[in-house]
A and B are shown apart, each in its own frame.
Chain A
Amino acid sequence: MARESFDKEIQFLRLLALTGGAYSRKQFADRLGISVHTYDKTLRYLKDILSAGQQGLTPEQSAELTAGFRYNHYESADPLLLFLYRAKSLKETESARLALIMAALRKQDLAANDLMELCGRELPADAALPDEKTIRGDLKYLEEVGVVKRIDGKRPYRYRARTELIDQLTDDELIDLYDYTDVLANTQLPSVQGYLLRDTLKKALRARGLGPETTETHVYKYHYHSRILDEAHLYAIHKAIESRRKLTFLYLSPKRGTRYASKNTNPLFETQTTGVTETILPLKVIYDHQYGRWYLVGHNARQGLMKFRMEGLTGLEEGAQVSEEEFAMRLSHAEEKLRHSWVIDTMRSFRVVARFYNPENSSHNFVKARVLAQGQWGEITEETESFFQFEITVNGLTEIKPWLRSFGSSCEVLEPRWLRHEFMAEWKELQAYYEPVREDF
């Protein structure tokens, strides 16, 4: 898939997943900065992939794309958006040939010539037969991605499928491996490779006659489903960080109305939109568990430390390399700056003091349990029977505020004083949201 097309599909899927059902075709296309024609085409393409990927699922598990993504996690733990990673376009003949080669190499070790013969026998008669160069190219690619390996020995070299990880396990062991992959892909980062492996293990179990009942025992609640879309950029960023190279990209602030900028060289994209071109030295990525969102942190000579929402990155290109010393200096500076960030804020730090009230009529102190679990590096400094005091030094206040507010009347902010006043004003305003409208008689 061309990069152009890929950026579009990511934005497309995110908008569908987040605001599914909200817009008409025209509104949706406008928001993405694409034409209605492109909208229809992209949707058709995604539907094809989705339906191909859902073979063997029950009707309840199938998702209707146009209605947006609806999740009922009790039905399945399959991440629907994973299909983005399966969308790379491929010629029909190539997919048939590669699948044939991999299946054959799982049964026995074969050389390029054997595989050519096999293709002659097995591929449809009307298809042009691959020449030796094509087969060697396929084997080279499959070896590179670690799907097959070359067996040591005399020429002609023979190859073998690398499925031993599965083939050498008993059914019981394979179930344990499936579960572990399922649990870790769902609970740890990054997860895309884990989900891909999970799919493969599921198919392997099915091939052994262990059907859906075996693989549908675990469910996960409160997942941020679109998080796996942003993992798409993780590898390009990782590669740039590893090689200490700068990255240039077109940044579309998610706060703007339009989410995708087409390049006018592509006649398919009629609407032209602009973003900001940025060049930074990438240092870290941050995952925010509160919203399920990713950020890129980098350094730029003009503006210093910068942070970008990953969903706004398009057209990533690697640039100049910096010295190891410079990279280390920038990284340690960024880490120091981010040490007290609730999420990514690197503004001046404040000491926040809040009083949390223990729940009445309950022997289980769920307020304290939540503060201990989610309060990051903050500390409880004082405790009485009815309340406890929580203190934390944090960069800026905008990021911690929603968390404090989520405790409702169980949390009272003491310091800083102006934050306390802000909370009072906000609760007053919120109260007005819910006041019954008075009717005049």
Chain B
Amino acid sequence: MNPFEKIFNYQIMSRLDETGSFAVSSQERSWLKTMLRHEAAAGAFTQETLSKLERLLTDEEDFRVKDIIMEKGRGEERQVYHPMLRKLRRLIVQGKGVKISVALKHGGSHQQQAGIPCKLEYSMVKREWYLLWYGTRPHALRSTPLRSIESLEEYELSPQQSASAKARLAEVLEKRMRTAVIEVVRAYNSELSRIVSAFSCFDKTVSFDDNTGVYRLRVKHLADESEFLLLKIRFLGLRVRVVEGDYFIRRMMETTSKALMRYQADNEEE
């Protein structure tokens, strides 16, 4: 098995595409066959479709490559599929509105809020699904974990309403964008690969000053992702320093003095 088969070549792909045709290789079928054993499959298909797929894949070999992989440092896999995904993805495509009741973190629930669903988002860190939607009252873009949606009802929207909500999505997200500049402390330049890897899950650009030998990463992120970026900055410790982004600088100052207080308080007890 080799993912570099010429059958996957881009010229073949685009030629097939021109005729509305396609090719499915045994590698892809094997992969699917093995992935269908994941418990997520039960929530992803009707029983009828699942049986049909299993029947179509009976003769394929198992995708054994999976067996040699050990995964480390992975967050607990809370959910890969959520029962509401199938319904919500269809409502998004059909341009429907939704009325949802959301359980609140601190107990109780918000009843029957109306809104327009835009995207389904999976966080690789939290390992769960969120619905990005516009609440109609108040008008705001919201992100709600599917796990806390208690009930879901659809309602008709005019095509204009749904189209304008989706068009505004990019605009609102852009408004929420923040930028931080993180500098690699020069003594750690040899660990550059580790450092840029840690930030590679963000939209970022790297600059390098040939004269000073200093690398700087300009990281674009949504305002509500600041905590996650902060966690990455603390994760890397002495290797990096925030040079632009008042919020992060203030939070790093707070963190360091609070952490030192914890250790010192305890030392005095001894």
Contacts and interface: CB of A to CB of B under 8 A. Distances in A.
Interface of A: 1, 6, 17-23, 27, 49, 52-53, 55-56, 67-68, 70-72, 74-75, 83, 85-90, 92, 94-96, 98-100, 102-103, 106, 141-142, 145-147, 161-166, 168-169, 173, 175-177, 179-181, 183-184, 186-190, 192-194, 196-197, 199-200, 203-204, 207, 213-214, 217-226, 231-232, 234-235, 237-239, 241-242, 254-255, 284-293, 311, 338, 341-344, 357, 363-364, 372-374, 376, 401-403, 405-409, 412, 420, 423-424, 426-431, 433-435
Contacts of A402: 235-237
A165 B29 contact: yes
25 contacts: A19-B196, A52-B10, A52-B11, A68-B206, A72-B203, A85-B3, A85-B8, A86-B8, A94-B6, A95-B9, A95-B11, A162-B26, A183-B85, A188-B38, A196-B28, A207-B20, A219-B119, A221-B124, A221-B125, A221-B201, A255-B190, A291-B197, A424-B260, A431-B260, A434-B242
A221 B4 contact: no
B255 to A, nearest CB: 4
A44 to B, nearest CB: 15
B200 A18 contact: yes
B65 A234 contact: yes
In the A-B complex, the 8 residue pairs with the closest CB atoms: A146-B26, A409-B258, A99-B15, A193-B31, A431-B256, A22-B206, A95-B11, A197-B28
A373 B235 CA distance: 17
Given A168-B56, A434-B253, A21 B205 contact: yes
Nearest to A215: B93
B198 interface: yes
A88 B9 contact: yes
A184 B80 contact: yes
Contact of B208 (A27, A344, A420): A27
Contacts, number: 394
A427 B205 contact: no
B178 interface: no
Contact of B23 (A161, A234, A290): A161
B64 A184 contact: no
Contact of B76 (A27, A225, A373, A427): A373
Contacts of A187: 80, 122, 124, 127
Given A193-B3, A219-B119, A238-B64, A74 B9 contact: no
Given A17-B200, A92-B11, A99-B19, A363 B105 contact: yes
B7 interface: yes
A342 B70 CA distance: 12
A192 B63 CA distance: 12
Given A71-B203, A374-B75, A145 B69 contact: no
Nearest to A208: B20
Given A145-B27, A430-B252, A189 B70 contact: no
Interface string B174-193: 00000000000100001111
A284 B12 contact: no
Contacts of B127: 187, 373
